[in-house]
């Protein structure tokens, strides 16, 4: 039986929910307070058998990120399961510097497969621990936002925050 802990905190971009395993590694996260939506980011085989509400170590990093320390998320442990290419891709996403997004084509090159642009986009789409594995830092060629499971408005605000653009209040 695997037991996971779930915590939802308030952020300027709305409710942010974090699901961690017993070792405090982030399994899934995103801008919602819907538990089923968070669990739905995981493959069925990787879902915990039980979820309880509680405190997570990762929440402090999210608070620090939104407080202006955009590197606070860098060292938060995550647990992801996938193919060798997906694992390599998720690891590569963590090395994209805040304020310096890549295009999907540049991301494919970073993965060593310049013709695998669709695969690169799929790696981003299947990323469960959003924010901690910053798939929001990958854009379409020409700078268009592309997709984001948590909404393009959230993606744009994350990119603006990381680029040092002041947030509009109100």
**Residue 153 CB partners (closer than 8 Å, separation 6+):** none
Question: Is 124 marked active-site?
Answer: no
| Bridge partners, residue 18, by sequence | 7, 29
Give yes or no for a contact between 108 and 117, defined as CB atoms under 8 angstroms apart: yes
CA nearest neighbour of 17 among 127, 162, 150, 146? 150
The span from the first CA to the last CA of the chain, in angstroms, equals 45
Active-site residue (options: 135, 138, 149, 159): 135
Give yes or no for a contact between 138 and 127, defined as CB atoms under 8 angstroms apart: no
Question: Catalytic amino acids?
Answer: 135
């Amino acid at each position: 039986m695997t037991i996971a802990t779930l915590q939802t905190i308030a952020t300027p971009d709305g409710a942010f929910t974090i699901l961690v395993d017993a070792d405090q590694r982030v399994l899934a996260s995103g801008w919602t307070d819907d538990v089923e939506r968070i669990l739905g980011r995981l493959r069925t085989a990787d879902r915990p058998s039980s979820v309880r509400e509680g405190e997570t170590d990762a929440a402090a990093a999210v608070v620090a990120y939104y407080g202006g320390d955009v590197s606070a998320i860098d060292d938060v442990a995550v647990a992801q399961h996938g193919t060798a290419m997906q694992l390599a891709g998720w690891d590569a996403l963590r090395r994209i510097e805040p304020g310096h997004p890549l295009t999907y084509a540049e991301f494919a090159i970073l993965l060593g497969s310049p013709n695998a642009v669709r695969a690169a986009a799929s790696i981003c789409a299947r990323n469960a621990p959003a924010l901690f594995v910053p798939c929001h830092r990958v854009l379409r060629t020409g700078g268009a936002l592309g997709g984001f499971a948590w909404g393009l408005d959230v993606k744009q605000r994350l990119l603006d925050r990381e680029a040092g653009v002041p947030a509009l209040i109100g």
